[in-house]
Amino acid sequence: MAKQEKTVWFCNNCGAESSKWVGRCPGCGEWNTMIEEKVRPAKGGRASAPLRGQESVVRPISQIETHEEQRISMPSGELNRVLGGGLVAGSLVLIGGEPGIGKSTLVLQNILSIRGRKILYVSGEESASQLKMRADRIGRLSDNCYIVCETSMDSIMEHIKDVQPQIVVVDSIQTIASDAIESAAGSVSQVRECSAQLLRYAKTSGTPVILIGHINKEGSIAGPKVLEHIVDAVLQFEGDGHYMYRILRSIKNRFGSTSELGIYEMVQRGLREVTNPSELLLSRNGDEDLSGVAVGVTLEGIRPFLIEVQALVSTAAYGTPQRSVTGFDYKRMNMLLAVLEKRVGFKLAQKDVFLNIAGGLKVNDPALDLAVICAILSSNVDMAIAHDVCMSGEVGLSGEIRPITRIEQRVLEAEKLGFSKIIVPKNNIKGFDTSRLKIEIVEVAKVEEAFRVLFA
């Protein structure tokens, strides 16, 4: 008797399965995320084999042997940093981003520069001629990079058996479909099934697999949330089409830190690494000092860089004051405005406040608080901050300047870029030898002290 198709409801958020429609997902608790799909049972009932190096034996944790993970060094230093030192053998890496942001370009220009390794690039979106044109534009060609345009998961596994690659790239996972499941490519069941097959191949063969994925309108990876749970690393490639900079962030990484950041610049021949972002993010207009501009020292992972904070404060023209923020947390700016009004005495309730982080970056480091309030006050009183002064510090609700992490790296970065003075929290540089530094370090404990240093 032929196997009959059945209808299953999947959660579009977490991938939870239900035999009937429910308003609220039993897995993640989200409302109205259940979608209906027809599922055809897979052929054969063979149980899955254990993963490489993970025999089905019960042992105490103290008797389990560990070994250092083998890593493949990528040509891009920024990508290596975000991955935690290179591409781990047998790992499954997911790179997501908006359409046209440069995901395929980033991966293609890296794999074309790898020598001595056989690479299979599976494209489900572009033709082979389109990829060849992109490679010509980048200016890199490689005989050890093989291209195949395929969307069937079974055919892809056959090509992998024939080529025996050392790195596999799938662009994109939402376009791949397995014959074992009768639903459209990109559906919850298809994404889950295809990613699970690629995960098993990566773990059993020790071959790293790079997946390129789409993101939805909310900014998260399209498809079920279980996709992010399956993979070993999730990298988000983001940026604004109006700016030349692209940011590569690590959202999840089982083999490295999730606080690392890679910065690229989009140029005609592809993506160029930005090794010193501070010099590009600071707009030095000669010796001209402008009000509403402050330079803060921020930190992403272990990488310090200086960034320009721009603020504009003006009288509310339409009665209701406006608050507009770009690249900074909107609620945190409102908190800092309340601190300025309550603790320092500046009345900003009836004024429009516009805040912008230069370069199109999004910064979450609380050490940028001091630069934000100084830029706002500078615009409010129309007094410029000296262009050779920078600052770094977290602002508390009582107006105090709180200590921050890695103060030594921040000070050294400011000195390297030629700043003559840096304002830091009081007692934050204990144990730091400043005798050889040329930069002047000013310690402040309150917001008022910082204002007196800047505006005398």
Q: Are 344 and 448 in contact (CB under 8 A)?
A: yes
Residue 108 to residue 90: CA distance in whole angstroms: 20
Single pTM value for the model: 0.75
Helices (H), 17-94: 77-83
Helix (H, G, I), strand (E, B) or coil at 412: helix
Q: At what angle do helices 153-163 and 188-205 cross, to 10 degrees?
A: 20
> In the prediction, which pLDDT does 47 show?
42
β pairing state of 394-395 and 401-402:
antiparallel
Please choose, from the candidates 149, 163, 228, 222, the residue with its C-alpha nearest in 3D space to the C-alpha of residue 195. 228
Residue 446 to residue 396: CA distance in whole angstroms: 9
CA gyration radius, the chain: 26
The per-residue DSSP string of 421-453 comes to EEEEETT-STT---TT--SEEEEESBHHHHHHH
Residue 391 to residue 298: CA distance in whole angstroms: 9
> In the prediction, which pLDDT does 218 show?
64
Q: Which residues of 106-127 are buried (b: 16+ CB within 10 A; e: fewer)?
A: bbbbbbbebeeeebbbbbbeee
Question: Tens-of-pLDDT digits for all 456 residues of the chain?
Answer: 445 567 788 787 777 778 888 888 887 788 888 877 766 555 544 444 455 545 578 889 888 887 778 899 999 999 998 999 899 999 999 999 888 888 999 999 999 999 889 999 999 989 999 999 999 988 888 889 999 999 999 999 999 999 999 999 999 898 999 888 877 787 788 888 899 999 999 999 999 999 998 876 666 676 667 788 889 999 999 876 666 788 898 989 999 888 788 889 888 888 998 887 777 677 655 556 789 999 999 988 778 889 999 999 998 877 788 999 999 999 999 999 999 999 888 888 889 999 999 877 888 899 999 999 999 999 999 999 998 899 999 999 999 999 999 899 999 999 988 899 999 999 898 888 888 889 999 999 999 999 999 987
Q: Within 10 Å of residue 237's Cβ, how many Cβ atoms?
A: 24
Q: Are 121 and 103 in contact (CB under 8 A)?
A: no
> In the prediction, which pLDDT does 286 show?
52
> In the prediction, which pLDDT does 223 show?
64
Report cis status (omega within 30 of 0) of the bond before 392.
Answer: no
Q: Are 204 and 168 in contact (CB under 8 A)?
A: no
Residues in the chain: 456
